[in-house]
């Protein structure tokens, strides 16, 4: 087959092309030299294609070869020369005044992508393209990769802004499925149906009081109800909100409730006029609410991407109370909140799909201590009570649970199994088992924070070892 | 018409130019979709080359690509086009992130003497399919585009050809320290198109 060649020099240039290089044509003189791996030496004639890509060298070459351009035979107008000079200075990375082809671009340009458009491919592929740093590292403790137990959770609402799972101090798990709240006793594996809110439902949040007997239930009709889990009866109903109550938190006898009407109300459940404080700073639904272990501070996260820290003393005052801190680093709804059990004033917060970060805060100063991009929506966070570790649950694309070492934030394990975003996490009272509820309508139990049995066995065997060593010592002597 | 038959063996210069320019048009659209330059909902599905391809439906982008496709066809007929490069550059920094190269080799004999060549439509379609699949598969090795980007098309023509009124000379918009992946090629026996993608290589952090 005959190829089209306009001039002999051109054909030379064509045959010289290296199949896997990009830079080739504008340099008929730089041919035949095998491509060196290192940038080519700056000489006036033999310029490797590689060096043509090097801005500095190319620029230098261009300056040096400006006079030689005349030798090339082709006549250039001064304006053209000037144009090239400008290009060279600005962005040109090759000296193309000896080129064989003319590079043309259409004068009008295509429109830019619409404002605020984010490349959706990023979330599609970022999980796969994540560099080695996210690889789970070997760790001395065995972390089971599969769920210990899986329970069916039909009608579990796939709503990011709700809090439908909690584990009591009495080892009873409360979960809201549609309009009904079920209690699952983890000791006996027995199931009880606590309530069904047909007209007022669905249930939008559940939260155990610290004593493990009373359960606060937030409803879609803006009510908060208090239930006795032993007698399975309602104690009282707390009104005050005007929209669904998606988050609840206890602090002693005080119940804080966060609602879609963007307010947080503190109820003292012992007294008749139960509303003792109203905190209004959020502009959208409050979806995350957690009291610090000390009970001095309340963290609230909202759909307005804001995280507020409130003081307990201010919270009990009547009337609007000012917040301590307003943290606006997240770029999506802040639902996942967890106070560190071993370090006071340390709060972990996770953002939604557009943010994907876990951030650590000193709630005294408001300083962000660390921020980790998890490559996926952060739905819930749980600290380990035994190790300096934190567990996060995620959504698309892997719907996994991630176990992180704190403070290095090395990923210790990635637990997959759920087929939809893992919306809720709850920790067993002994701190070893984690329950996770996901949009795939399953409830799974994971022994991520170690196994008490294994720990005991280990310590026993260790003791034995030491004993045998001592034994042998005594025998030798 | 002959197109009813399973193969149409005779390929003229005009026919080849039409095939190649159409192929370039679909490739550009496919790259725009695969690389997420424009939102996915601005693309519509089209059956072409025995596969489903995505075409940008936004009027201005369409008009831009169509105008260029027409000009490319004209150039192909005169044999002056050497290369078409699609550049994807960052909006904010103007840095070129990807260069999709389509090198074109022209068969002089056909252009000058008007002879015809023979190659079955099916073979050409298979070659085009292969490139389209490679473009779709390229997202697996290309780095993520994390910022808003625009694209542009550069045409390398021979020096003696005339510059159309709406066109201006441009620099090559090369990438510093690129990684280059060669894709497949198509050959209409009149024009041979070699595809290749160069992208900005960033070291592991």
Closest CA to A54 of A34, A81, A36: A36
> What's the confidence (pLDDT) of residue A27?
41
Query: Do B172 and A122 make contact, defined as CB atoms within 8 angstroms?
Result: no
Share of chain A above pLDDT 70, in %: 67
Is the pLDDT at B167 greater than 60, yes or no? Answer: yes
CA distance B161 to chain A (A): 9
DSSP 8-state class, residue B17: H
pLDDT in tens, A298-330: 999 999 999 999 988 766 665 556 788 899 999
Q: B15: buried, middle or exposed (CB in 10 Å: 19+, 13-18, 0-12)?
A: middle
Which one of B97, B144, B160 would you mutate to disrupt binding with A, by most A Cβ within 10 Å of its Cβ?
B144
Label each residue of chain A as H, E or C: CCCCCCCHHHHHHHHCCCCCCCCCCCCHHHCCCCCCCCCCCCCCCCCCHHHHHCHHHHHHHHHHHCHHHHHHCCCCCHHHHHHHHHHHHHCCCCCHHHCCEEEEEECCCCCCCCCCCCCCHHHHHCCCCCCHHHCCCCCCCCCCCCCCEEEECCCCCCCCCCECEEECCCCEEEEEECCEEEEEECCCCCEEEEEECCCCCCEEEEEECCCCCEEEEEECCCCEEEEECCCCEEEEEECCCCCCEEEEEEECCEEEEEECCCEEEEEECCCCCCEEEEEECCCCCEEEEEECCCCCEEEEEECCCCEEEEEHHHHCCCCECCCCEEECCCCCCEEEEEECCCCCCEEEEEECCCCCEEEEEECCCCEEEEEEECCCCEEEEEECCCCCEEEEEECCCCCCEEEEECCCCCEEEEECCCCCCEEEEEECCCCCCEEEEECCCEEEEECCCCCHHHHHHHHHHHHHHHHHHHHHHHHHC
CB contact B159 to A (< 8 Å)? yes
DSSP-derived 3-state class of residue B164: coil
pLDDT in tens, A13-42: 444 544 433 433 344 444 444 444 455 455
Query: With bands split at pLDDT 50, 70 and 90, how would you rate the model's confidence at A6?
Result: very low
Query: Do B146 and A128 make contact, defined as CB atoms within 8 angstroms?
Result: no
What is the average per-residue pLDDT within A442-450?
Answer: 89
Contacts within 8 Å (CB) and 24+ apart, A38-42: none
Is the pLDDT at B58 greater than 80, yes or no? Answer: yes
pLDDT in tens, A268-307: 999 999 988 888 889 999 999 999 998 889 999 999 999 9
Is the pLDDT at B157 greater than 60, yes or no? Answer: yes
User: Which CATH fold topology does A149-457 show?
Assistant: Methylamine Dehydrogenase; Chain H (2.130.10)
CA distance B25 to chain A (A): 14
A192-201, A293-302, A452-461, A468-477: segment of lowest average pLDDT:
A468-477
DSSP 8-state class, residue B49: T
Is the pLDDT at A97 greater than 90, yes or no? Answer: no
Of residues A131 and B68, the one with the higher pLDDT is B68
Question: Which phi and psi angles does A228 have, rounded to 5°?
Answer: -95, 120
List of chain A residues whose C-beta atoms are within 8 Å of the C-beta of residue B135? none
A418-432, A455-469, B145-159: segment of lowest average pLDDT:
A455-469
Q: Is A381 within 8 Å of A336 (Cβ atoms)?
A: yes
Mean per-residue pLDDT over chain A, rounded: 77
**Which ipTM value was assigned to this complex?**
0.78
CB contact B7 to A (< 8 Å)? no
**First and final CA of chain B: distance in angstroms?**
59
* Domain covering B10-199 in this structure, CATH number: 3.30.900.10
Question: Rounded CA gap, A229 and A193, in Å?
Answer: 10
pLDDT in tens, B22-33: 999 999 999 998
Query: Do B174 and A94 make contact, defined as CB atoms within 8 angstroms?
Result: yes
A61-65, A112-116, A406-410: segment of lowest average pLDDT:
A61-65
Question: Rounded CA gap, A441 and A102, in Å?
Answer: 62
> What's the confidence (pLDDT) of residue B41?
84
CA distance A400 to chain B (A): 22
Closest CA to A309 of A281, A276, A268: A281
pTM score: 0.50
pLDDT in tens, B5-18: 445 578 888 888 99
Closest CA to A230 of A192, A271, A268: A192
Query: Do A132 and B175 make contact, defined as CB atoms within 8 angstroms?
Result: no
Is the pLDDT at A226 greater than 90, yes or no? Answer: yes
Is the pLDDT at A470 greater than 60, yes or no? Answer: no
Query: With bands split at pLDDT 50, 70 and 90, how would you rate the model's confidence at A63?
Result: low
Identify the closest residue of chain A to B71 by CA–CA distance.
A106
Highest mean pLDDT: which of A39-43, A50-54, A190-194?
Answer: A190-194
Of residues A338 and A19, the one with the higher pLDDT is A338
Highest mean pLDDT: which of A49-58, A69-78, B21-30?
Answer: B21-30
Task: Give the CA-trace dihedral at A96, A97, A100, A102, to 10 degrees.
Answer: 80
Of residues B113 and B25, the one with the higher pLDDT is B25
List of chain B residues whose C-beta atoms are within 8 Å of the C-beta of residue A101? 82-83, 156-159
List of chain B residues whose C-beta atoms are within 8 Å of the C-beta of residue A110? 60-61, 64-65, 150-152
**Domain ranges across chain A:** 50-114, 149-457
Is the pLDDT at A74 greater than 60, yes or no? Answer: no
List B residues 35-74 in contact with A (Cβ-Cβ < 8 A).
35-40, 58, 60-61, 64-65, 67-68, 71
> What's the confidence (pLDDT) of residue A347?
93
Of residues B92 and B24, the one with the higher pLDDT is B24
């Amino acid at each position: 087959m005959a190829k089209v060649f306009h001039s002999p020099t051109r054909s030379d240039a064509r045959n010289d092309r290296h199949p896997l290089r990009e830079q080739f044509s504008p340099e008929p003189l730089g041919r035949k030299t095998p491509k060196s791996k290192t940038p080519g030496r700056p000489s006036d004639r033999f310029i490797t294609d590689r060096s043509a890509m090097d801005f500095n060298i190319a620029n230098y070459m261009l300056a040096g070869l400006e006079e030689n351009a005349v030798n090339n035979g082709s006549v250039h107008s001064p304006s053209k020369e000037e144009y090239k000079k400008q290009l060279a200075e600005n962005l040109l990375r090759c000296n193309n005044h000896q080129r064989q082809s003319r590079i043309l671009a259409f004068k009008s340009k295509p429109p830019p992508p619409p404002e605020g458009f984010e490349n959706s491919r990023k979330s599609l592929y970022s999980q796969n393209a994540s560099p080695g740093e996210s690889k789970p590292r070997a760790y001395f403790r065995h972390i089971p990769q599969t769920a210990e137990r899986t329970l069916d959770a039909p009608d579990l609402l796939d709503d990011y802004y709700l809090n439908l799972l909690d584990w009591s101090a009495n080892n009873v798990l409360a979960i809201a499925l549609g309009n009904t709240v079920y209690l699952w006793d983890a000791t006996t594996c027995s199931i009880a149906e606590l309530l069904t809110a047909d007209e007022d439902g669905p249930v939008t949040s559940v939260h155990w009081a610290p004593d493990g007997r009373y359960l606060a239930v937030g409803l879609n009709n803006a009510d908060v109800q208090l239930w006795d889990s032993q007698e399975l009866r309602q104690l009282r109903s707390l009104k005050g909100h005007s929209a669904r109550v998606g988050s609840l938190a206890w602090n002693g006898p005080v119940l804080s409730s966060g609602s879609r009407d963007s307010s947080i109300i503190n109820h003292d459940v012992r007294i008749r006029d139960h509303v003792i404080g109203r905190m209004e700073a959020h502009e959208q639904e409050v979806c995350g609410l957690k009291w610090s272990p000390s009970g001095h501070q309340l963290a609230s996260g909202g759909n307005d991407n804001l995280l507020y820290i409130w003081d307990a003393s201010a919270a009990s005052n009547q009337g609007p109370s000012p917040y301590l801190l307003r943290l606006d680093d997240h770029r999506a709804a802040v639902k996942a909140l967890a106070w560190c059990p071993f370090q006071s004033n340390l709060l972990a917060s996770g953002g939604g799909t557009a943010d994907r970060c876990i951030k650590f805060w000193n709630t005294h100063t408001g300083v962000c201590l660390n921020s980790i991009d998890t490559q996926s929506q952060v739905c819930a966070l749980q600290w380990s009570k035994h190790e300096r570790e934190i567990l996060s649950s995620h959504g698309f694309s892997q719907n996994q649970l991630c176990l992180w070492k704190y403070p290095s934030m090395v990923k210790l394990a990635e637990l997959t199994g759920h087929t939809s975003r893992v919306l809720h996490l709850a920790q067993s009272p002994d701190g070893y088992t984690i329950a996770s509820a996901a949009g795939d309508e399953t409830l799974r139990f994971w022994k991520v924070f170690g196994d008490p049995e294994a720990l005991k066995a280990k310590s026993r065997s260790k003791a034995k070892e030491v004993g045998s060593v001592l034994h042998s010592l005594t025998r030798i002597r | 018409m002959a197109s009813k038959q399973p193969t149409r063996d005779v390929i003229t210069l005009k026919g080849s130019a039409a095939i190649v320019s159409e192929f370039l048009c679909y490739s550009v659209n496919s790259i725009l979709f695969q690389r997420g330059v424009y939102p996915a909902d601005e693309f519509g599905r089209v059956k072409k080359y025995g596969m489903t391809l995505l075409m940008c439906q936004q009027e201005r982008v369409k008009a831009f690509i169509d105008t260029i496709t027409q000009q490319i066809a004209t150039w192909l007929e005169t044999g002056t086009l050497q290369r078409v490069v699609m550049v994807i550059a960052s909006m904010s920094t103007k840095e070129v992130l990807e260069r999709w190269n389509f090198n074109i080799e022209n068969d002089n004999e056909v252009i000058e003497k008007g002879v015809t060549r023979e190659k079955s439509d099916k073979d050409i379609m298979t070659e085009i399919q292969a490139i389209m699949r490679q473009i779709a598969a390229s997202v697996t090795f290309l780095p993520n585009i994390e910022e808003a980007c625009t694209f542009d098309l550069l045409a390398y023509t021979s020096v003696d050809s005339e510059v159309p009124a709406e066109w201006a000379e441009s620099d090559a918009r090369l990438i510093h320290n690129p990684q280059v992946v060669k894709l497949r090629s198509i050959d209409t026996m009149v024009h041979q198109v070699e595809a290749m993608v160069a992208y900005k290589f960033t070291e592991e952090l």
